[in-house]
């Protein structure tokens, strides 16, 4: 496997990683623009622009690429997160030119046809309504808005319904023109190509795109939290939830890895079962909960470590919350064991190995690293976890899992009636 990094004259960063185990290539373009950079009144605009990128250019009218990529057996999609918007195509390596041409073209030539904008407005509102059908969506939305008063992490990626009704075509196009520039993007290729052969093609297609200054991103830092915050949401239904979310450092901070390891011990490792985790034993095994989960996100700015408990029928919120917080206090006081530390590290190694089976997953990891501003972030992930010590984990628990940094949320089900 060979990875090389290049910068084109117009500012586009290019990461190429040859992987030759399957006749495939995964092609990603990651833009440094996400919901954290959205102003009030324009929440959800990054995600809506992502939808409009599938609505055609002069060269590739709407629908043409859906068919062209399926026709060659490829897949394509896009994601908007709090920190980024990413587009990818994974397809047979002999069809790579299609992906290169498509993404280079829509980086500057997307049409934003007014009729398509209106049609997509209702599609996105439908997307939001589909998510709203889950009672936990309302709890999550309220908790973020409570945990963040100033920073853009305070609103959902999909956006507020009020803004989805009022954002205009001009708003969308301005957002696109400002942020979709080579200097604000990273191109990632992972797969069975030859670097020497593909670089001239990348230069020809992407290197000729007009250079623009790197956009200044709208970011407002969150002031320190001064005490515990609490949220109660009532929705129809019968299932109760308790969540606790703690402010955490960004993914590039050394403490993030200590908390990631701590989370493995508390709620399990992402992608694996968690029945031997501490919180499963304390909450599910004890009969209080049907399920418990947790996780950090690898964000650019400080975000949240969230623990979520699905209560069993008849269990009181305060009892589940007390059991959850007791476990967190225990790890603060006693730390974790050598065996727990070793288990978390081996799990990280296994999950890393599983990801190596897929060029799509490898490319995604590189794209996220680029957004974080550390191109080797994913490659060094297991190494950084390996360096975490028992003392580090306990110190991180004592520093971050404190009431002053906490937002607690209860979802109270109100039964069958609205």
Q: What residues between 129 and 188 interact with other proteins by CB under 8 A?
A: 129-130, 132-135
Task: Name which position in 75, 168, 208, 398 contacts other proteins (CB under 8 A).
Answer: 75
Least separation in angstroms between CB 44 and other proteins: 14
Residue with tokens 């195509």: 89
Is 16 within 8 Å of 198 (Cβ atoms)? yes
User: Of residues 243-282, which lie at the interface with other proteins (CB under 8 A)?
Assistant: 268-269, 271-277, 281
Count of residues that interact with other proteins, criterion CB under 8 A: 81
Q: Which long-range contacts (CB under 8 A, 24 or more apart) does 322-328 make?
A: 323/282, 323/283, 323/286, 323/288, 324/242, 324/244, 324/279, 324/282, 324/283, 324/292, 325/244, 326/282, 327/266, 327/278, 327/279, 327/282, 327/283, 328/244, 328/266, 328/397, 328/401
* 328: Cα separation from own chain's centroid: 25
Does the protein bind other proteins through residue 328 (CB under 8 A)? Answer: no
Least separation in angstroms between CB 10 and other proteins: 29
Least separation in angstroms between CB 406 and other proteins: 25
Does the protein bind other proteins through residue 217 (CB under 8 A)? Answer: no
Q: Which stretch binds other proteins (CB under 8 A): 101-109, 125-133, 323-331, 363-371?
A: 125-133
Least separation in angstroms between CB 149 and other proteins: 27
Least separation in angstroms between CB 306 and other proteins: 19
Task: Print the binding letters for residues 84-113 with other proteins: x by CB under 8 A, - otherwise.
Answer: ------xxx---------------------
Q: Which stretch binds other proteins (CB under 8 A): 9-17, 31-39, 345-353, 365-373?
A: 345-353
Does the protein bind other proteins through residue 347 (CB under 8 A)? Answer: yes
* 277/298 with CB nearer other proteins: 277
Task: Print the binding letters for residues 3-32 with other proteins: x by CB under 8 A, - otherwise.
Answer: ---------------x-xxxxx--------
Residue 24 Ramachandran class (φ > 0 left, ψ -120 to 50 alpha, else beta): beta
* 212/384 with CB nearer other proteins: 384
User: Of residues 367-406, which lie at the interface with other proteins (CB under 8 A)?
Assistant: none
Task: Name which position in 111, 174, 217, 351 contacts other proteins (CB under 8 A).
Answer: 351
Least separation in angstroms between CB 332 and other proteins: 23
* 125/402 with CB nearer other proteins: 125
Sheet of 13-18: strand order equals 2-7, 13-18, 185-191, 24-31, 85-92, 75-80
């Amino acid at each position: 496997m060979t990875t090389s990094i290049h910068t084109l004259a117009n500012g586009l960063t290019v990461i190429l990683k040859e992987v030759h185990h399957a006749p495939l290539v995964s092609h990603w373009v990651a833009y440094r623009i996400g919901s954290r950079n959205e102003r009030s009144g324009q929440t959800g605009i990054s995600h809506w622009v992502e939808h409009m990128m599938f609505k055609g250019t002069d060269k590739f009218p709407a629908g043409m690429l859906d068919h062209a990529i399926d026709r060659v057996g490829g897949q394509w999609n896009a994601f908007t997160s709090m920190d980024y918007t990413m587009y990818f195509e994974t397809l047979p390596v002999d069809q790579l030119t299609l992906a290169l041409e498509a993404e280079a073209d829509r980086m500057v030539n997307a049409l934003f046809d007014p009729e398509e904008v209106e049609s997509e407005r209702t599609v996105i509102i439908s997307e939001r309504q589909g998510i709203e059908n889950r009672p936990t969506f309302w709890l999550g939305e309220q908790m973020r808005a409570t945990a963040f008063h100033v920073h853009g992490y305070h609103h959902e990626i999909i956006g507020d319904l009020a803004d989805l009704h009022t954002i205009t075509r001009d708003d969308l196009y301005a957002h696109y023109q400002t942020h979709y520039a080579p200097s604000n993007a990273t191109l990632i290729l992972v797969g069975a190509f030859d670097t020497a052969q593909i670089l001239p093609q990348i230069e020809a297609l992407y290197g000729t795109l007009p250079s623009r200054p790197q956009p200044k991103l709208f970011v407002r830092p969150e002031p320190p939290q001064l005490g515990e915050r609490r949220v109660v949401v009532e929705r129809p239904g019968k299932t109760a939830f308790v969540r606790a979310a703690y402010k955490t450092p960004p993914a590039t901070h050394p403490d993030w890895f200590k908390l990631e390891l701590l989370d493995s011990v508390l709620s399990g490792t992402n992608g694996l079962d968690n029945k031997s985790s501490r919180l499963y034993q304390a909450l599910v095994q004890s009969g209080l909960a049907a399920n418990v989960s947790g996780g950090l996100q690898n964000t650019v700015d400080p975000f949240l470590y969230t623990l979520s408990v699905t209560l069993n029928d008849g269990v009181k919120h305060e009892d589940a919350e007390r059991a959850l917080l007791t476990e967190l206090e225990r790890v603060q006081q006693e730390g974790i064991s050598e065996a727990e530390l070793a288990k978390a590290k081996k799990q990280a190694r296994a999950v890393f190995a599983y990801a190596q089976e897929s060029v799509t997953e490898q490319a995604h990891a590189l794209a996220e690293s680029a957004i974080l501003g550390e191109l080797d972030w994913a490659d060094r992930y297991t190494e950084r976890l390996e360096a975490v010590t028992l003392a580090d984990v306990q110190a991180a628990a004592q520093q971050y899992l404190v009431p002053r940094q906490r937002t607690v949320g209860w979802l109270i089900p109100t039964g069958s009636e609205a």
